[in-house]
Structure 1
Amino acid sequence: MTDDVLLVHGGTPIEGEIRVRGAKNLVPKAMVAALLGSAPSRLRNVPEIRDVRVVRGLLQLHGVTVRSGEEPGELVLDPSHVESANVADIDAHAGSSRIPILFCGPLLHRLGHAFIPGLGGCDIGGRPVDFHFDVLRQFGATIEKRADGQYLTAPQRLRGCRIRLPYPSVGSTEQVLLTAVLAEGVTELTNAAVEPEIEDLICVLQKMGAIISLDTDRTIRITGVDQLGGYTHRALPDRLEAASWASAALATKGSVYVRGASQREMLTFLNVYRKVGGAFEVDETGIRFWHPGGPLNAIALETDVHPGFQTDWQQPLVVALTQASGLSIVHETVYESRLGFTSALNQMGAHIQLYRECLGGTPCRFGQRNFLHSAVVSGPTTLQGGDLVIPDLRGGFSYLIAALAAHGTSRVHGIELINRGYENFLQKLEELGAKVERP
């Protein structure tokens, strides 16, 4: 399909201004939260990405009215008439997103039952959905495995419980929050994820009437209430997209002003960006990122859960590290298969060696499990255009960066996957002077 292919003529610095809107890792979850309310909700700063369209479709299947609001990027969600959806209709969304599993708690509260089809998402490592179901069982849900998915029921009101996450998973933390707010009694979640998007979801739920406390030791306590109302909320900006454009500016020796980018959520990234040799300037409306000239610096980097260096920042930055002088070490501790995208970079001329050992300062949970989760990047290397097949969302954008930085023309296949998390990315590339075209 040629409409899923992009020709990228590399070697030109990208320069100009683009805007990022609400975070992909918050907006769809805030939309799901609207299911819990007894009144309409108003969500602002919503990006036009595929995950938003998927959740909008699922909400409408369940009787939620979703319409555009008064300002661009505003959605009004009215859950007054929540109803059961046709299994075949729900199943039509299977494979396009993992977000349907977050419908479980809200639907159990509203309807007493829920159906979850098989789930999709990026293939970057294990994201066991079984843990979601284990959590729901602790709340009192009954789960029946069927050929086409999982059928859940709540014979009685769900009850609060004590849960300790084996790893501070964002998805598991979201599942607990969306289920506990209307459960009877108190839920205590320890070793929870505390990403900015989690805090923003907590703010959404608190606006609806939830009682949630977040302690400094990664413990979240939720006191269940009998009823929630609607909310009016402006989603926090997408720090992951902002960092992707920042890395693109660095790799292509360009300059990009990211309107909407917020310093507070990007502190860790900005420190690393400066260590590599990138420059940035923060003002009231965004952040400008640029390559100041001269050689870039090799670094040692470990990904981690927030407030560490986010795994979604890693792949785009690795492309820039191929242009740094010396040996950079990258230790991926969040997703075991996230470094697989580097094989295509090597075919373009990069020198990246993968290792099963933990090359960072601390051993991680993948160290004894035979996964290639550490990388040594030797640079600088000259990248040449290639034939690239996008493997996942962030890896896909990283291939775009590599193609922009490379000499010659690259043929990038599977670009529709990038629409999952990057709003109007083709238009933004053109606005930044990138030489891209459909074949």
Structure 2
Amino acid sequence: MDRIAITGGAQLNGVIPVSGAKNSAIKLMAASLLTDEPLRLTNMPRLADTRFLGKLLTRLGVSVTESDGPDGQQTILHAPEITSGFAPYDLVRQMRASFNVLGPLVARSGQAKVSLPGGCTIGARPVDLHLQALEALGAKIDLHEGYVYAQAPRGLKGAEISFPIVSVGATEHAMLAAVLADGVTVIRNAACEPELVDLQECLNAMGAKVEGAGTPTVTITGVARLKGATHSVIPDRIEMGTYAVAAAMAGGEVRLTNARPELIESLSVKLEEAGATVVRTEDGVIVKRNGSRLNAVDIETAPFPGFATDLQAQFMALMTTANGESHIRETIFENRFMHAPELMRLGADISVHGGEARVRGVAQLEGAEVMATDLRASVSLVIAGLVARGETVVSRIYHLDRGFERLEEKLGACGAQVRRIKGDGEPEL
């Protein structure tokens, strides 16, 4: 099992290009099931999660070809026919988002058998809303022995879908299914994240008729078939925010490129409030800190455009050495403070009470062996290690490989002392 070792104390200075968004790419890959023509996705990240989904799509009849094209990293997905509607547990359990193949399979071929995704370390994240949306569209849903059996032999029908709570995954799933439904579908209380807009743009390039993504109401007029298209994946706002926090933590000056500053505005405001300098540019941001100690700042996670839950762990790491006491309130997921005990191993002063963590800044963190518990928590430990005295070694970094592309290379190019320690093999996820 690989580990990452960080020797703290080096400032970060340089340029970090931001990769395509993982959370968008995996839903765009699922859209390839909706057409018998090739879908070409550019600005594609190369991650464990995209490989997992590619493996599942291949089983369903999609050819998946990765290459370096004229627009950078690209993936071409082509499903001339659906050869199987069965998504087994051993593949779906490796990544929850792979459950979103269910809707496209039913929309195109009229039936599917897809494993329930199982538990999650940061909360239950049930798929009830996904299934309710498909039922509203006319699919017959049966649950048996851990699998969802969905059938719509006469095709899906447009419907009114009103979610009782905001769900990014369920909104995306409903959009993927409704584009081939007969009639008009209206999704109310839809999630408004930028990845929804990216999905809309890709589907419309394929010939769909989707309006309103990025607002609470999405309207989809179903079409008989979709065609192939070329689409560039949106920049990864979580990766962008992570490196912005890393720059503020370590000090120095880092320019983040190939990105959109408006995607992390809620974070940028908090970084400025803490004392870092954030300069918005045409293709990203510049984050600077001159070495002075940051000030403690309170945050509360919220759906976009609020403070992203996927940046909460990173910001907590930043606050561990800030001057004063900060309060971090998590409103999206339960169990998302599992990184706190690991940060405390580095000398952080953190106390957790329910959905709120209190962080009292300390003058110095000390390197130690720590363990990643989930994707975002793992990178928070790397960020803390950038300033910890001595060496910090993070184990179970397969979590990191799920969502961060070439992390050691990108940080190392800016002066960080970070290296990967190869193990005897990666664990099965």
Question: Is the contact made by 1:97 and 1:121 (CA closer than 8 Å) also made in structure 2?
Answer: no
Mark the CA change 1:122 to 1:24 in structure 2 (over 3 Å): closer, same or farther: farther
Partner of 2:131: 133
Mark the CA change 1:81 to 1:31 in structure 2 (over 3 Å): closer, same or farther: same
Match of 1:155 among 150, 153, 156: 153
Aligned counterparts, 1:163-202, within 5 A: 163-202=161-200
CA distance in structure 2 between the partners assigned to 1:416 and 1:431 by the alignment: 22
- C-alpha displacement of 1:330: 1.3
Please state if 1:114 is matched with 2:112: yes
CA distance in structure 2 between the partners assigned to 1:314 and 1:261 by the alignment: 20
TM-score w.r.t. length of structure 1: 0.90
SS in 2 for 1:42: strand
User: What is the aligned length?
Assistant: 419
CA distance in structure 2 between the partners assigned to 1:19 and 1:121 by the alignment: 33
- C-alpha displacement of 1:118: 3.9
- C-alpha displacement of 1:99: 1.8
Post-superposition CA distance 1:155-202 (Å, at most 9, x none): 321112212212211001101100111111211111110111111111
The residue type equivalent to 1:17 in the other structure is V
Post-superposition CA distance 1:131-159 (Å, at most 9, x none): 21222122222233233522222232111
CA distance in structure 2 between the partners assigned to 1:343 and 1:213 by the alignment: 44
Question: Is the contact made by 1:345 and 1:402 (CA closer than 8 Å) also made in structure 2?
Answer: yes
Single out whichever of 412-421 and 125-134 deviates more from structure 2: 125-134
Single out whichever of 327-336 and 139-148 deviates more from structure 2: 139-148
Single out whichever of 65-74 and 322-331 deviates more from structure 2: 65-74
SS in 1 for 2:255: strand
Please state if 1:221 is matched with 2:219: yes
Single out whichever of 421-430 and 231-240 deviates more from structure 2: 421-430
CA distance in structure 1 between the partners assigned to 2:153 and 2:197 by the alignment: 31
Tell me the C-alpha RMSD between the 2 structures.
Answer: 1.9
Aligned counterparts, 1:14-413, within 5 A: 14-68=12-66, 70-71=69-70, 72-84=72-84, 90-119=88-117, 123-147=121-145, 149-214=147-212, 218-355=216-353, 372-413=354-395
Question: Is the contact made by 2:129 and 2:163 (CA closer than 8 Å) also made in structure 1?
Answer: no
The residue type equivalent to 1:379 in the other structure is G
Partner of 1:365: none
Post-superposition CA distance 1:352-384 (Å, at most 9, x none): 1222xxxxxxxxxxxxxxxx2111211144111
The residue type equivalent to 2:77 in the other structure is L
Partner of 1:362: none
Partner of 2:412: 430
Question: Is the contact made by 1:84 and 1:111 (CA closer than 8 Å) also made in structure 2?
Answer: no
Single out whichever of 304-313 and 107-116 deviates more from structure 2: 107-116
CA distance in structure 1 between the partners assigned to 2:411 and 2:256 by the alignment: 13
SS in 2 for 1:405: coil
Runs (4 or more) in structure 1 with deviation over 4 Å come to none
CA distance in structure 2 between the partners assigned to 1:216 and 1:133 by the alignment: 22
Single out whichever of 106-115 and 212-221 deviates more from structure 2: 212-221
Post-superposition CA distance 1:36-77 (Å, at most 9, x none): 123211110001111111121122111112223533311222
Question: Is the contact made by 2:261 and 2:281 (CA closer than 8 Å) also made in structure 1?
Answer: no
The residue type equivalent to 2:394 in the other structure is V
The residue type equivalent to 1:246 in the other structure is A
SS in 2 for 1:74: strand
The residue type equivalent to 1:117 in the other structure is S
- 5+ long unaligned stretches in structure 2: 423-429
The residue type equivalent to 1:398 in the other structure is S
Mark the CA change 1:20 to 1:98 in structure 2 (over 3 Å): closer, same or farther: same
The residue type equivalent to 1:221 in the other structure is T
Question: Is the contact made by 1:350 and 1:383 (CA closer than 8 Å) also made in structure 2?
Answer: yes
CA distance in structure 1 between the partners assigned to 2:251 and 2:214 by the alignment: 40
CA distance in structure 2 between the partners assigned to 1:243 and 1:121 by the alignment: 27
The residue type equivalent to 1:227 in the other structure is R
The residue type equivalent to 1:200 in the other structure is D
CA distance in structure 2 between the partners assigned to 1:280 and 1:405 by the alignment: 20
